[in-house]
Homo-oligomer: A and B are copies of this chain.
Amino acid sequence: MTGYASMDTLQLQQELSALMQVYEDYQKMKLALNMARGRPDKEQMDLAQGLLSCLTPEDMILADGSDVRNYGFLEGIPEARQLIADLMGHTPAEVLICGSSSLNIMYDVIAHAFTHGIDGCTPWAKLDNVKFLCPVPGYDRHFGISEHFGCEMIAIPMNAEGPDMDLVEQYVNNDPSVKGLWSIPKYSNPSGITYSDEVVRRFAQLKPAAKDFRIFWDNAYIIHDLYDHHDVLLNLLEECKKYGSEDMVYELMSTSKVSFAGAGIAAIASSESNIKKLAKQFGVQTIGWNKVNMLSHVKFFKNKDGVLEHMKKHAALLRPKFAAVLDILNAEVSDIATWHNPNGGYFISFNAMEGCAKRIVQLCKEAGVVLTGAGATYPYGKDPQDKNIRIAPTSVTIDELKQAATLFCLCVKIATVEKMLEK
């Protein structure tokens, strides 16, 4: 608690001066901490070290008699499709296992839509305008793909239940140039919010004006719970089947934060019909993805239960990190900022006083703590209110986190007082 709201100008000036003295002491410490990216920490990756030695020569021959080290199985090996399908709540025929990056799958799907179109519709490259709906705050790399292809990005505000569905329906059901929507429906990056059942049902009941509209349902944190009392996300693909709208969904996941970052396995799920089409188009670009890596994941994790048990070990490592940051935020700045206490995922989405985010990030940087750039969580990197900051507490030790979070709060206070004095 800062009590700033009740201070007069003189008190605020004195406070600023006191804060700046502490800040200068921090600068002398020459910290070098990073809370910018959602990276797993070394001890998390150590949990999966067995992956690198679990395969034996006997494992090389798959159930169907084929050799996993040879070409084939464009859709991924059946064993991996089963594992991932179980995790996602789908059938193996609704799942395609690709390389190590779900981002790359999304990119490929969108690039193909631009060059060849979806389902016989006009290639997006030939349209004057392609719009993507972007719930905000959101994931900068999603927005990066849209921007790369010159899409018009439309920010959709998030609330405690998910994206503003009135606005989503209005755009999707009426504007045929709206071709895509980005979403991280569980433990959203960065807000940590999980879409409510009602929001998921409204997604399933969309009646897109564009036949080639697609929801990019990036279920990146599908099993990334921090607590036993975790969020539960309704299965969008199953909901869609009630309305015959399942072709509208591309659901993604990867094991980048289950096994190794960038060296796991990544998957796309959709209707069986879509999966067949995707396999066909992927067949032009590759003979097949790394099946040996798929097999080592299957062997190491065994099955869905094996993966979920493994994720409990991740949670045990991550819980104290989130707690360390949240405790300090609560103690220091609860009356001048807001945030959501997430039940999973990799981020804390911090909302400062309007017009303060850039200044906070700059102050942190100049004292040796790197945060995701202010604005990065918005299309074109521009947060219109300049208030959202994504905090990534996972890849720093708890001692360092406490130091970084304390400095962060100091910078929040400085920026807030400065802003109040401007008025």
Contact = CB atoms under 8 A, between A and B. Distances in A.
A80 to B, nearest CB: 13
B125 A115 contact: yes
Interface stretch (A183-191, A284-292, A335-343): A284-292
A246 B100 CA distance: 31
Contact of A290 (B114, B285, B290): B290
A230 to B, nearest CB: 25
A287 B103 contact: yes
Interface in A149-185: 149
Contacts of A288: 101, 262
A407 B51 CA distance: 45
A48 B60 CA distance: 12
Contacts of A296: 52
Interface string A116-148: 100000010110000000000000010011001
Contact of A263 (B101, B261, B263, B293): B293
Interface in A221-263: 256, 260-263
A70 B394 CA distance: 12
Given A40-B70, A67-B42, A287 B141 contact: yes
A242 B57 CA distance: 48
B149 A115 contact: yes
Interface residues of A, number: 56
Nearest to A48: B69
A287 B263 contact: no
Contacts of A52: 53, 55, 292, 296
Nearest to A100: B290
Contact of A261 (B71, B111, B256, B261): B71
A330 interface: no
B67 A45 contact: yes
Nearest to A144: B284
Interface in A42-61: 42, 45-46, 48-49, 52-53, 55, 57, 60
A393 to B, nearest CB: 16
B284 A107 contact: yes
A81 to B, nearest CB: 16
A39 interface: yes
A385 interface: no
Contacts of A293: 263, 290, 293
A262 B285 contact: no
Given A55-B52, A111-B111, A115-B115, A100 B69 contact: no
A363 to B, nearest CB: 26
Given A57-B49, A104-B285, A71 B39 contact: yes
A52 to B, nearest CB: 5
A99 interface: yes
A261 B70 contact: yes
A37 interface: yes
B284 A263 contact: no
A386 interface: no
A197 interface: no
A380 to B, nearest CB: 15
A289 B100 contact: yes
Contacts of A145: 284-285
A400 interface: no
A108 interface: yes
Given A70-B45, A115-B115, A125-B125, A107 B263 contact: no
8 contacts: A52-B55, A52-B296, A107-B286, A145-B284, A148-B284, A260-B292, A262-B290, A263-B293
* List of 3 A-B pairs having minimum Cβ-Cβ separation, nearest first: A107-B285, A263-B292, A69-B260
Interface of A: 37, 39-40, 42, 45-46, 48-49, 52-53, 55, 57, 60, 67-72, 99-101, 103-104, 107-108, 111-112, 114-116, 123, 125-126, 141, 144-145, 148-149, 256, 260-263, 284-293, 296, 395
